[in-house]
Amino acid sequence: MYKIGKINYRKINRISPSQFYSMKNCAYKSLLAEAFEKKPLLPISPNAYLGTVLHKMLELIVKRKVNNENDFSQMFDGQVKAVERNLQNLGYSFFIPLQKNVKDFGLKKILLKKHLHAVSYQSIRSSSIKYYSEKWFESKDKLIAGKIDLLIEAQNDTEIIDFKTGAITNDNLDDTDDVLAEVKEEYKEQLKLYAYLYFENKGIFPTVLSLVDLAKQKFTVNFSQSECKTIFEDAKDLLHAINESIKKGTFTANPTVANCKYCLYRPACSFFLKKLKMNCSFNDVSGLVRNVVKYQNGNVSVFLQIGDRQFTVTSIPSEKFDELNKYRNKQINIYNLRKEATEFVYSATKTTMMYE
């Protein structure tokens, strides 16, 4: 059973373009991440771990440190093994091997390999065109900073490219109910922040902002200079407001399903726990342990009470039985469960974790 101790909030020194959208939707999540030194309190999805491998491989391909299929295979396997060693050290061996725990693992590897021959950023490089991979930019006051995946500078044009290993668009309906693929708002704002960082450093704005996915599809983000400046100022104002909330102790959060579903700091969020006691929309439960039962097959079920409601969590590993018995009539919180067809019944998963 894990326990959250005293939370020591720390000043956030800067904000990155990739963080801005999430911070804007729930600043408290960023405060918790900083307080726990960016060490998640819940397991990250195995897809995210593969995502770090895919992104690193894209960087190596762009830098031409991976030039052929043989190099690709060796480097890819090495990156995967390094991530799996890290998972082992974190106690997340249930994610190993990644190949069996990530949906479409093989397909993603095939799509990634096609970037070896991507004309859009691997063309013959003339002396008038400059390519920069993982280029660091920061604002003059150092409050906004981040790495641009790929920067292409020509005589009269500059393109900023950001690689994404997941879905870049959302499907939306227009006025005639036709489906439109719209670039996610968070990615638009991220690129516009990069554009203003580029302007602060170079004195000119880029001409093109692009997103590239694993299938080598390119999506262009339209922007204006005024938009970029507004978002840039908004990000700095947000950073200032978050740090002021630490000084004054006036913390607020925005506990919605969209904000909390994948938040890795839910166990430390009092706002979320309060919401959880009133809302059954999450795959987490919080309540008093009323009974613990161990069945002949070794599986354990725990019965929780929340107000006048009774919750059942099944399929808990047998080694948890003695520990759970110690928590009878005490409050516990269980995260990352699977909802069953029967109301108020959940089952444990590989990533289920318990906190007192």
Domain ranges of the chain: 43-117, 283-355
Q: Which residues of the chain have pLDDT under 70?
A: 118-127, 172-179
Residue 333: the pLDDT is 96
pTM for the model stands at: 0.87
Query: How high is the pLDDT of residue 25?
Result: 92
What pLDDT is stored for residue 123 in this prediction? 47
pLDDT in the model for residue 121: 52
Calculate the alpha carbon distances from 258 to 22, 30, 51 in Å.
Answer: 11, 15, 21
Strand order in the sheet with 208-212: 130-138, 145-153, 158-163, 208-212, 218-220
pLDDT score of 284: 95
Give the number of other CB atoms < 10 A from CB of residue 294.
16
**How many angstroms separate the CA atoms of 270 and 348, rounded?**
23
Please state, in angstroms and rounded to a whole number, the distance separating the CA atoms of residues 346 and 305: 14
Quote the pLDDT of residue 249. 87
Q: What three-state secondary structure class fits 245? A: helix
Domain range 283-355, its CATH number among 1.25.40.10, 3.40.50.880, 1.20.1260.10, 2.40.50.140 = 2.40.50.140
Both tokens of 197, joined, read: 């960082």
The encoded tokens of residue 96 equal 């190993």
96-136: pLDDT as tens digits = 999 999 999 999 999 999 888 765 554 445 557 888 889 99
What is the secondary structure of 114-142 as a DSSP string? GGGG-HHHHS---TT-EEEEEEEEE-TTS
Encoding tokens for residue 237? 């104002």
Cα atoms in the 13 Å half-sphere on the side-chain side of 189: 19
Q: How much is the pLDDT for 124?
A: 44
- In the three-class reduction of DSSP (H, G, I as helix; E, B as strand; rest coil), residue 330 is classed as coil
Q: Is 72 left (phi over 0), alpha (psi -120 to 50) or beta?
A: alpha
